Chain A
C-alpha cells in the first residue's frame, strides 16, 4: 500500500501540479501565436516577472494573508495579475506593435521576443538579485496529510496548501477562459481572428483591440502560473526559464493556436515527465518475494534520471512534429 501512496504523491499529485503550470503557460503561448502568429519566447520570463511582482506586493503587505487565512502570495495574486497584464501591453506597445505596423514577417517578432526575454532576464536580476527567495519566510506553509484508511498504509497522501490552490486556480482560470472564448463578443472575435485574420479584418473586427485582449489574457495567466509555481517551490530569477521548452512542447502537442489543446498538452507533458522520472522499482519491490531469486530488482528503475527530465518534452516535441505536426487538436503547422 505504501508503494501506491508513494506513487500517488510522486506521480499523480506532482504530475497534476506541473501539468497545470505547463497548461497555463501553454495557453498563453498558443493564444499569442493564434492572434499574432509568432512564438513568444518571452512568455516563460513573463511568468517569472509576474512572480516577482507578487513577491513585491507580498512584502509590502505581509499581514494580508493572515487576515483571510491563505498564503499572502496568493492573496496578492489579483494585484500581480493586473500589473503583469498592463506590463504585457506596455511590452507590446514598445517592441511588437512598431514591428506590426511595419508589417514585418512573424519571424521578426519571434526574434524581438528573444530580445524581450533577455531584457526581462536582466531586469529581474538587476532589481531582485540572483539569490532565491521564499514567500514563506515569515509564514507557515500549510501541508495537508490525508490518512489512508488501510491497515497496510502507514504513509499519508501529502499535498501542500499552495499545491491545492494551484490546482483550484488553474481549473477556475480554464473555465473562465472557456466562458470568455465561447460566450463573449470579444472572446469569439479572438477565436475568429485566430481562425482567419484576413477575414476578421474584412468583417470590420478591430484587430488592435483583439491584440490587446490577447496580451491581457496571456499576461494574467503568466502571473497566475509564475506566482503559484513560486509558492510551490522557491522564487528565483530562472524560475520559469527552464519551463520554456516544456511549455512550447505542450502548446505544439495540443495543436498550436488551440487553447483546449494547450491544456491537454500541458497535462500530457507534465505527466510524461513525472512518469519518466518515477522510480518504478518502488512499485515492483513488494513483488520481490514472489519472484525467483535470480531476479534482482535494481534500486533505481526510472526511465530518465531526474536531472535529465528536460529530454522528455524534447522527445514528445520531436515525435509530435514528425508524426502529427498539427497536434492533437489540429492546430496550425508551424
Chain B
C-alpha cells in the first residue's frame, strides 16, 4: 500500500471529528472520500498530511511509519497537499507559483515546469500572469500543478472542483485521471459524490467520523443503500 491510515482518531481539540477511520490506496489509484457535510472528509485528508495531531492511529507511507512526521517533511517524502481554499500564491506569477512548489528541489526543474504546461496547456499562455487574476478553473490548475512540482508519490486534493463551471470540472477530472495514470496515488475529497465515484478506484463513504462503506467506485455507485443515503437516490 502506498498510503495506509489506520484507526485515525483526530480533531481540533474537544470532541474528535474522526472516530477511527481507515483509508488506504495504492500507487496509480484514485481514492475518493465522500460523505455528508460534517462527516470529517477534509479532516481525514488533513490527518493524512499531518496538519492535525492524531490522538490515535497510525499513518504509513509505503510501509514506513510517518505518523509523527511534520507536514513540511512529508513533502520531502513525496506527499503533496492541495487545500480547498487559498491554494495558490495570488501575487506571484503562474511560473513563480510552480517554482514555489519545487522549493525543496535543488536540481534543475525546468523540464518539470514544461511537463506541467503540457498537462495544463492554459498555464503556458498565462505563465507570466499574476495567479490571483486567473479564473477559478485556471487557479485550480495552478494549485494542482504546484503540488505536482515535487513529483509526488501521493497527491491529496481537497474538493478540487468546488465552484468551477462544468467545463472546468470535466477538465480537472480528466487531468486527475492523467495524473493517476502516471503512477501517482491520488486521494480526493469530493462534495459531488456521484461524479467523483465514477473515476474512483476506491471510494470511502464517511459519516460522523467513521467509515460507513469502503468499496470500488463502481460498486458503491451501484449499491442501493449508498445511492439512497448519499447519492440522492
Contacts and interface: CB of A to CB of B under 8 A. Distances in A.
Nearest to A194: B91
A204 B97 CA distance: 13
A198 B146 contact: no
B76 interface: yes
A206 interface: yes
Interface residues of B, number: 25
Contact of B100 (A192, A198, A206, A207): A192
A304 interface: no
Contacts of B73: 204
A202 interface: yes
Contacts of B90: 195-196
Nearest to B95: A188
A203 B83 CA distance: 11
A185 B91 contact: no
Nearest to B82: A202
A185 B87 CA distance: 20
Contacts of B97: 192
B137 interface: no
Interface string A191-215: 1100110111111111100000000
Question: Which residue, of A188, A196, A198, A202, has the highest number of chain B Cβ atoms within 10 A?
Answer: A202
B81 A185 contact: no
A223 interface: no
B89 A195 contact: yes
A189 interface: yes
Contact of B96 (A192, A199, A207): A192
A237 to B, nearest CB: 38
Interface residues on A, range: 10 to 19
A108 to B, nearest CB: 19
Contacts of A200: 89, 100
Given A188-B96, A192-B96, A203 B103 contact: yes
Given A188-B92, A199-B83, A204 B99 contact: no
Contacts of B75: 202-204
Interface of B: 49, 51, 71-73, 75-76, 81, 83, 86-92, 96-97, 99-101, 103-104, 146, 150
Rank and list the top 6 A-B pairs by shortest CB-CB distance, nearest first.
A204-B75, A204-B104, A195-B89, A192-B89, A192-B100, A205-B103
Given A191-B91, A202-B72, 8 more contacts: A188-B96, A189-B103, A195-B89, A195-B91, A199-B88, A200-B89, A201-B71, A203-B146
22 contacts: A188-B92, A188-B99, A188-B100, A189-B100, A191-B89, A191-B91, A192-B92, A192-B96, A192-B97, A195-B92, A196-B88, A199-B83, A199-B87, A199-B88, A201-B72, A202-B71, A203-B100, A204-B72, A204-B104, A204-B150, A206-B72, A206-B103
